[in-house]
Structure 1
Amino acid sequence: MKILKNLTVGFLVSFIGSIPMGFLNIIGFQIYNMSGLRLTISYLLGVIAIEFWVIYFTLLFANQLIKNKKLIKLIEGFSVIFMFILAYVFYSGSKSENINSGIFSDYTKYPFMLGIILSSTNFIQIPFWTSWNLYLLNGKYIEISKTRKYFYVLGTICGTFIGMLTLILSLSYITNQTGFLAKYLMKVIIPTVFIILGIYQGIKFYKKY
């Protein structure tokens, strides 16, 4: 029963957390449009390969990490800057004459490695999972003695994989049905989303520190 609870809680937290339009989802959407489902799945496996270790270690050291204010501040500050960098990357990449080449076309031959590299730069997942793991542990929503912690981590990476794939396929379907989105998604909408996220995170960072 505790194993099933760990799997379910981990899956739900990760599934919901992976649905918002983060940069890993957007790049996965770009890969899907350029190279299809098989390479997209390979990319997502690279993403969750890193996430597995992030979740595992933040689960083990949640108390120590949450007390390291300087590290958390550095990570959150970098994440604000990173949003604006991504906005510029997507905007400048969308102006390419060969739009079908995409922003990361040179690297999609190795989607698994691309997923590993990009997931490794997603530093905001450290405070995200540290906070969630601490909350779930303190609330006794999960139990991590012996091998039970592995079932929780398994549930989280399954939730991330399915959540990201669901969003990627949904975005693809919507853009194929709507000419406006297909034309302006990468050129205007995505860069604007990242700018808004950067401003929002910047305001949160300012108020917090």
Structure 2
Amino acid sequence: MKVIKNIFVGFLVSFIGSIPLGYLNIIGFEIYSKFGIKDLIFYLLGVISVEVFVIYFTLIFAEKLVNNKKLMKAVDYFAIIFLLILGYSFYAHSNQSAANHDDLEKYITYSPYLIGLVLNCVNFLQLPFWTGWNLYLMNGNYIAIENKLKYYYVAGTLIGTFVGMLALVLILNTLSQNTTFFSKYVMSVIIPLFFIVLAFIQMYKVYKKYYKR
């Protein structure tokens, strides 16, 4: 029973966490729309290859990570810069002609798996996300981590991330094929604004966490 519960809880948390329109999903959509399902699957495998270590170590060291105030503060500040850079990069890329610049196609010649691996390595936002969730689930006795039970939880989270990102990419692709608005405005306007809004939300969180008395 504990095995099934660990897998289900891990899947549910990870599936929901992977649905928001983050940069990993956007790049996954770009890979799928240009190179197909095979490259997308390898890209997603690269993403979860990093996530397995992040989830496992934040699960084991969740309390120690939270108590390291300097590390968490650095992550919070870096998240603001990271989101602003992402917003600008999507905006700048949308104004470039495909004939002159196709960065994604250039990098995909190496390996979509490597792209997923590298991009998720710099996804520092997952550190507070998984640390917070793992603490909550452990404190609420929603999961058991003794002996081998933690591995079932980690397996559930990886399946949830893979399925969640795959589902969102396929939905985005369907929308892009049926909506001219999507192809005209999403990459150049909506997605950059999305990252800017996230950056301002992160700024407010930093202000509330470290400066508001």
Instruction: Provide TM-score, normalisation by structure 1.
Output: 0.97
The SS at the match of 2:9 is: helix
The SS at the match of 1:144 is: coil
Instruction: Specify whether residues 96 and 137 from structure 1 end up closer, same or farther in structure 2 by C-alpha distance, changes over 3 A only.
Output: same
RMSD: 1.3
Identity %: 54
The SS at the match of 2:89 is: helix
1:87-126 to structure 2, matched below 5 A, reads 87-98=87-98, 102-109=102-109, 110-126=111-127
Aligned to 1:170: 171
Cα offset for 1:98?
A: 1.0
Cα offset for 1:200?
A: 1.1
Q: Which digits, 9 at most, give the CA deviation of each residue in 1:7-34, with x for residues without a partner?
A: 0000000000000011111111111111
Q: Distance in 2 between matches of 1:102 and 1:196?
A: 27
Match of 2:180, as an amino acid? G
Q: Distance in 2 between matches of 1:144 and 1:100?
A: 52
Q: Distance in 1 between matches of 2:15 and 2:122?
A: 20
Cα offset for 1:81?
A: 0.8
Q: Distance in 2 between matches of 1:100 and 1:34?
A: 17
Q: Which digits, 9 at most, give the CA deviation of each residue in 1:96-118, with x for residues without a partner?
A: 11179654221112100010000
Q: Distance in 1 between matches of 2:170 and 2:27?
A: 13
Aligned to 2:43: 43
Q: Give the unaligned 5+ runs of structure 2.
A: none
Aligned to 2:9: 9
Q: Distance in 2 between matches of 1:117 and 1:152?
A: 24
Say if 1:8 and 1:155, in contact at 8 Å, map to a contact too.
Answer: yes
Say if 1:47 and 1:118, in contact at 8 Å, map to a contact too.
Answer: yes
Cα offset for 1:85?
A: 0.1
Q: Give the unaligned 5+ runs of structure 1.
A: none
Aligned to 1:138: 139
Q: Which digits, 9 at most, give the CA deviation of each residue in 1:136-176, with x for residues without a partner?
A: 01110000111110000000010001001111110110111
Which deviates more, 6-15 or 176-185? 176-185
Q: Distance in 2 between matches of 1:112 and 1:100?
A: 25
Aligned to 1:191: 192
Aligned to 1:23: 23
How many equivalent pairs are there?
209
Match of 2:154, as an amino acid? V
Aligned to 2:71: 71
Match of 1:97, as an amino acid? S
- Match status 1:53 vs 2:53: yes
